[in-house]
Amino acid sequence: MSDVLHASPLGKTSEYKSEYDPSLLFSIERKEKREELGIHQDDLPFYGRDLWYGYELSWLNSSGKPVVRVAQFELPCDSPCLIESKSFKLYLNSFNQSRFDSDEQVLGRITLDLSTVAKVAVSVRLFTIEQFETRGFDQAPGINIDDLDIAVDCYQYNPSLLAGLAGKSVEASGEVVSETLNSHLLKSNCPVTGQPDWGTLVVSYRGEPVDHGALLKYICSFRDHQEFHEQCVERVFVDLQKYYQLEALTVYAQYLRRGGLDINPWRSTLNAKPEVLRFIRQ
């Protein structure tokens, strides 16, 4: 992975091209980090998608007048590759001084380029500012656990924190609950630049009761952890399944935008289309 990241534009001085250039896109295979978690690319333990929003998309129409749009990109989680975010930003900015006849032409170009790099069909939608304004914001669903009175002294990723505040393995009690929990305290860091990535994490499950305090301490342990957004969410999913007996599990994170992009990975045991949400910090 380190060699691959070294070849990416992350952490390097980059020239901002203002003429359309699909070669700026850089892909990273999901396989290596998934194998680290015991996930096999051809036998995923979840369904899911990565939903991106691009707020820095503009081009010139056939008369040379600038056009501005907000873009939504949806990558299925079974795609062989994810798209490195800085390369995505550089790619979108390459539209700035290029002329296109219509939104449909831009939509077609972006859809083809992203699908080629991700090696799977990528869904793309374009919104006018007025259309996007009407969507407003949503509240994070479920119970917020951020105000729990706990002591935190671990800021390096530590999955054993899920075992409970006493540090003992959780034994199935036979009790089954269904609940949704959320926390706005998720923070991780870019694996190359070290820049902070802030987000809201949502965990919805049915099964053995999850220790709320243990979960919050575990979330805080990502604070100095370096990993991409998608990989962090898959790590949380795998760890919860390891420490708890769960019949159903959904984990997703809504990350704040950085570089004009926000990334929202969603993973679930349920083969259902996730609700499209947008939180206040996005």
Sequence spans of domains, the chain: 2-133, 143-268
Active site residue 154: no
pLDDT class for 12, splitting at 50, 70, 90? low
φ, ψ of residue 86 in degrees (nearest 5): -65, -40
183 to 49, 98, 198, 216: CA distances (angstroms): 20, 41, 11, 8
Residue-wise pLDDT for 212-261, tens only, equals 999 999 999 999 999 999 999 999 999 999 999 999 999 999 999 999 99
Place of tokens 């972006």: 110
**9 has pLDDT over 60:** no
Residues 21-68 have pLDDT tens digits of 999 999 999 999 999 999 999 999 999 999 999 999 999 999 999 999
Taking alpha carbons only, the member of 215, 203, 199, 233 closest to residue 152 is: 215
* Per-residue pLDDT at 143 exceeds 50: yes
Of 50, 197, 211, 239, the active-site residue reads 197
| Topology at the third CATH level for domain 2-133 | GTP Cyclohydrolase I, domain 2 (3.30.1130)
Tokens at 101, concatenated = 């006849």
**Sheet-wide strand order for 47-60:** 123-127, 66-76, 47-60, 261-268, 246-255, 196-207, 177-189, 143-144
Quick check: do 2-133 and 143-268 share a fold?
yes
Rg (CA), the chain: 20
- HSE at residue 80, side-chain half, CA atoms within 13 A, is 7
For residue range 157-192, what is the model confidence (pLDDT) as tens digits? 999 999 874 334 445 457 899 999 999 999 999 998
Question: Which letter does DSSP use for residue 169 in this model?
Answer: P
Does the domain at residues 143-268 carry the CATH identifier 3.30.1130.10? yes
Asked if 220 is an active-site residue, the reply is no
CA distances, 79 to each of 49, 100, 120, 130, 279 (Å): 9, 29, 6, 32, 26
Q: Residue 214: which of 175, 268, 160, 155 has the closest Cα?
A: 160
5 phi, psi to nearest 5 deg: -65, -35
Q: Which residues contact 192 (CB under 8 A, 6 or more apart)?
A: 5, 8, 10, 11
Share the mean pLDDT of the chain.
Answer: 92
What pLDDT, on the 0 to 100 scale, is given for residue 169?
42
Catalytic residue among 50, 77, 113, 190: 190
